[in-house]
């Protein structure tokens, strides 16, 4: 998605914890797939995430932006059960704090980390097949249908289906990481910095694919350093600073908020 998308000017975003003007009505129509209540995560005595509360309405993209070290990746790791945390995490209405990462995948959550974590010595198709591990009992025909859906979203992967993952370009590796996560048939996709290290054209291609997934009904929680690109495809966003929610608003509101614009968007104006 190009950076020259023009969005209508909205009202100022709300303080942390308050529902933005106009957002309450839309959010009420979509039950939350994820509810986070006063989440705290610590590394020893250092508290990296403090009292974070947020929600992801079903069928929406919610983005989390903020500076390096704000706790964005830590938040995703805690939501996936990869880090211990305190506070409430409800997925589709169920408390999932006691579930381990594999159980959360089986519940319908998938995480794509910023490192992508592919198996470099395995082919593209083998990496995708591994993503379907929790549905292995449904048979080969169902798995091949899921692979075909990934190839329809990312045709470049089909052309490289027998190629080793370690030989792919950065953009292709990100597409493969996304595709592998989709093989688990998630209802909530957690994305950590999908634009990291990619050329602007590839960033647009990847984020447009994420928007297509939202339009097909998938819920997405997107952590992204490229704030403008993230807000252009998101429905709403949270600004995380020093481990705390500093602002919450619709994407239009945050795009036009003076503080967000000067701190996170100014450097991207020329893209």
Residue 266 confidence (pLDDT): 59
* Buried/exposed 108-120: b ≥16 CB within 10 Å, e otherwise: bbbbbbbebebee
Q: What is the pLDDT of residues 226-267, one digit of tens each?
A: 999 999 999 999 999 999 999 999 999 999 999 898 888 854
What pTM does this model have? 0.86
List pLDDT tens digits, range 111-164: 999 999 999 999 999 999 999 988 877 788 999 999 999 999 999 999 999 999
Cα separation of 153 and 7, whole Å? Answer: 26
* β-bridge mates for residue 161, sequence order: none
pLDDT mean across residues, the chain: 88
Mean of the pLDDT values across residues 26-38?
79
Dist CA 179 CA 129 (whole Å):
10
Q: Which fold has domain 14-108+186-268?
A: Rossmann fold (3.40.50)
Among the residue ranges 12-16, 62-66, 205-209, 261-265, the one predicted with the least confidence is 12-16
Q: Which residues contact 224 (CB under 8 A, 6 or more apart)?
A: 63, 64, 65, 191, 193, 194, 195, 230
Q: For the chain, which residues make up each domain, given as ranges?
A: 14-108+186-268, 115-169+178-184
Coil, strand or helix: which one is 14? strand
């Amino acid at each position: 998605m190009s950076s020259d998308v023009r969005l209508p000017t909205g009202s100022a975003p709300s303080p942390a914890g308050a529902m933005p003007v106009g957002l309450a009505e839309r959010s009420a129509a979509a039950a939350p797939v994820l509810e986070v209540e006063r989440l705290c995560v610590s590394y020893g005595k250092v508290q990296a995430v403090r009292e974070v509360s947020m929600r992801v309405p079903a069928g929406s993209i919610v983005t989390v932006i903020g500076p390096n070290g704000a706790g964005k990746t830590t938040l995703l790791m805690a939501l996936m059960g990869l880090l211990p945390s305190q506070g409430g995490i409800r997925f589709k209405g169920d408390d999932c704090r006691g579930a381990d990462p594999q159980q959360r995948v089986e519940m319908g959550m998938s995480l794509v980390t910023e490192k992508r974590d592919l198996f470099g010595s395995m082919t593209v198709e083998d990496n995708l097949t591994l993503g379907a591990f929790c549905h292995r009992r449904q048979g080969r025909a169902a798995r091949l249908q899921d692979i075909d859906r990934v190839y329809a979203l990312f045709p470049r992967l089909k052309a490289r289906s027998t190629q080793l993952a370690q030989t792919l370009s950065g953009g292709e590796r990100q597409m493969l990481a996304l595709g592998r996560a989709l093989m688990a048939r998630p209802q909530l996709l957690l994305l950590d910095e999908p634009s990291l290290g990619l050329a602007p054209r590839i960033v647009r291609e990847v984020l447009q694919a994420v928007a297509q997934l939202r339009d097909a009904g998938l819920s997405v929680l997107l952590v992204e350093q490229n704030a403008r690109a993230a807000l252009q495809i998101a429905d709403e966003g949270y600004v995380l600073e020093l481990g705390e929610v500093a602002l919450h608003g619709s994407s239009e509101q945050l795009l036009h908020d003076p503080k967000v614009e000067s701190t996170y968007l100014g450097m991207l104006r020329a893209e």
